[in-house]
Structure formats: structure tokens, C-alpha cells
Homo-oligomer: A and B are copies of this chain.
Amino acid sequence: MTVGVWLVGGRGSVAVTSIVGASALRAGLVPGTGCVTELPEFRAAGLAGFGDLVFGGHDRVSTPLTKRAGELAASGVLPAALVRAVHDDLVRADADIRLAPAGESQAETAATLQADLRDFRDRYGLDRVVVVNVSSTEPLAAAHPAHATAADLNVALRRGEAVLPPSALYAYAAFSAGCSYVDFTPSTGARLPALAEIARRRGLPYAGNDGKTGETLLKSVLAPMFARRHLHVRSWSGVNLLGGGDGATLADPGANAAKSASKQRVLKETLGYQPQGAVRIEYVEDIGDFKTAWDLVTFSGFLGTGMRLEFTWHGCDSALAAPLVLDLARLTGAAHAAGRVGPLHELAFFFKDPLGDVAHGFAEQWQALTAFAAGLGAESPA
């Protein structure tokens, strides 16, 4: 099975790390560390091999992939030798990262996006194309009546109205072109009733939102620990210092709000109450891609005794995110092939703010994910 991976934000850090990594994995230059789908539990799931993934995408900028990869090597995200080794693959992929179109109307833009997707699928004779949004986080989008139903949305677009935030327009175009959609960002993406309806009608699966790579990942294992030891979490405060393109975007109060909300959900859902404290994101250019997150948890135990846990997470965001992008592309491609339609709740394991009313504990999400993979394996042709 060949799977096209169409990256919205295809020249960003996460995208470039994903493309370089897939190339290196295909060439057998690196082990599958960081790729969840390379664990034994996924061996029988019939997923596309790294050699079966083809990359394309849209971006607002046109910096060559080789240049971006060089920058990521300079900042320690990618090994320089690896970047040199996959140079030719990067040059080839570069041609398939199109400039994000800006039509007269959103309808026109959507039409160009669809044409690009169809062209990509046809040229490479791909079985499926998964559109993965790894573009900059948008500000929280305003509600609009046209979001309610497919009919309302189509009417508004036909009238030339601009009713969708960019991430939702990409989801709209993906579904219209028969592609599945994954939102790795906290943006709106496919989370509108109108889009859900379109996906359902077209028989397409989708997943999201907001890749879970750092502080929230830790929360999803630590919060269940407190809950099941019956320890009362009194406050949970966090600060994320990060530079890089994503950091600059998130420093914007609008995007910051979207992200912080997505990061807090896990506590409420896992503990059953909202502890005091907030999560901040601060842009510090010098920190670059190696985000530093610091969290302080105060809790009380037996007879009310106060205690605390403090942690510092020093993770390379792009290196944490990229293998998950590959995982999601493989899993969503296989789900599409297996006829799965609508939100893929079982992929909650990968997201800070998962679709649907799902468990937020890491262990439950892992069980759901492996059961899902087992199901795919059972369905997949031997």
C-alpha cells in the first residue's frame, strides 16, 4: 500500500524532520526510535512501510527543504550527516511542496488545494493520501452559522464568503478530494459539524488535535498516578519556554490561548476536578527547538499532609513530533483502507486534545490504540 503524506506547513520544522526521518528510515540509516508504530504491537497491523510513503504539501514560504534541514542540523535537531545522506530525497520532495494558494475567494482556494491533492495522488498512483496539518497554530477561530451543516457551509462558500479558518479550509479540501485528514495542531481543523458531515458522507476518517509531545504527555501519565493513589492535586502550574518558529507563533496571545486550553484538559478529565494553576508558553529565542517545560504540582495525601512534585522536561519538539506524524499517517492511511469513517477516537494516544469523549489517561489510550491496531491487522489482507 502506497500512502501519500500531504503536509500542510510542509517547510516547517516538524514537516522537514518527518521527511528527513522517513528517508533515513527507508534507507536503514537509523532505528525506528520514537516511532510508536515500529513497536512489536503494530507489526501485524498491515501498515505502509517507510518506503511506501510519498511526501508532498503546502506552505506559505518557499525556503528550500535542504536549507531548512541545514538549519535544523545547525541547531542540533537533526544530525548533520543524516541531512547530507538524504539530500537527494529532499530535493525531490521539494518539488512537491506547493506554495499555499490564495484565491479570490475561499471557494477558489479550496478548489486549487483539491486540484493539488488530486494531481499528487495521480502522479504517484497513490492508494491513499493523508493530509496532515503541521502548519503554524491559528488564533482561536470565531464561530459562524455556516459551520453547522454541510449545506450551510457550501452555500456560504459558493457565495464567496470567507467563513473557515485556514486549518478548516484544508480539512474541507482534503475531504472534498477524498483524502483523510489529521490535525497535529490545536487549530480548528476538522472540528466543525459541517466538516464532520462531509467526512461521513465521503466515507473518510480523520484524527486530531494537537500532537502530545511534552508536558501534556507527562500529565497523561502523572495525573492517573495521583488519581489512583487517591492523592489530591491542589495545584498544577507549568511554564513552557521555547524558541523556533512555533515558539514565535505561540507567543501570540491568541494562539497561546488555543494551546494552553488544549494542555489543561487532561487534568480535569483525569482527576475529575480542576486543580489551581495555569500553563504559560513563553517565547525565548535562545531556547530554540529544545523546549524547556517546568511544572510544579502540589498535592495532599493522608491526613492532609502537603507534598510536591517538580519536573523539568527538556525535549526537542520536532524530534518528538515528527515520528508521531509518520505514525499518524500510517495508521490513518490503514484506517482509510479498512473503511473506517469519522473521527478516529482510538488515536487519542497521540493528542493533547483528542476528538470525542475519550479517556485521557495514557494507559487507557494505549490499550485503545493497540486494540485498534489489532483490528486493522485482522482486517488487512494477509
Contacts and interface: CB of A to CB of B under 8 A. Distances in A.
A311 B314 contact: no
Contacts of A237: 239, 241, 282, 284
A213 to B, nearest CB: 9
11 contacts: A32-B230, A33-B231, A33-B301, A221-B362, A235-B284, A278-B282, A286-B298, A301-B320, A309-B313, A311-B311, A362-B363
B302 A35 contact: yes
Contact of A230 (B24, B36, B217): B36
Contacts of A286: 234-235, 276, 298
Interface stretch (A77-85, A115-123, A181-189, A372-380): A77-85
A236 to B, nearest CB: 9
B303 A30 contact: yes
Given A229-B34, A229-B36, A234-B286, A296 B241 contact: yes
A118 B310 CA distance: 47
A282 to B, nearest CB: 6
B284 A276 contact: yes
Interface of A: 17, 20-21, 24, 30, 32-36, 38-39, 76-79, 82, 217-218, 221-222, 224-225, 228-232, 234-235, 237, 239, 241, 276-278, 280, 282, 284-287, 290, 292, 294, 296, 298, 300-305, 307-316, 319-320, 322-323, 361-364, 366
A302 to B, nearest CB: 4
B319 A303 contact: yes
A218 B309 CA distance: 10
How would you classify the secondary structure of chain A's contact residues: helix, strand, loop or mixed? mixed
Nearest to A233: B286
A302 B284 contact: no
A17 B241 contact: no
Given A76-B76, A237-B241, A301-B315, 4 more contacts: A34-B229, A35-B302, A39-B230, A76-B305
A229 B285 CA distance: 24
A82 to B, nearest CB: 6
Contacts of A362: 221, 224-225, 228, 363
Contacts of A38: 230
Interface core residue of A20, A229, A276, A287 (most chain B CB under 10 Å): A229
B277 A301 contact: no
A308 B76 CA distance: 14
A228 B20 CA distance: 23
A282 B282 CA distance: 14
A282 B295 CA distance: 13
Nearest to A34: B302
A323 B230 contact: yes
Contacts of A78: 303, 305
A20 B303 contact: yes
B280 A284 contact: no
A339 to B, nearest CB: 27
A320 B303 contact: no
Contact of A284 (B30, B34, B277, B363): B277
A223 to B, nearest CB: 10
Contacts of A17: 302-303
B311 A280 contact: no
Contacts of A290: 307
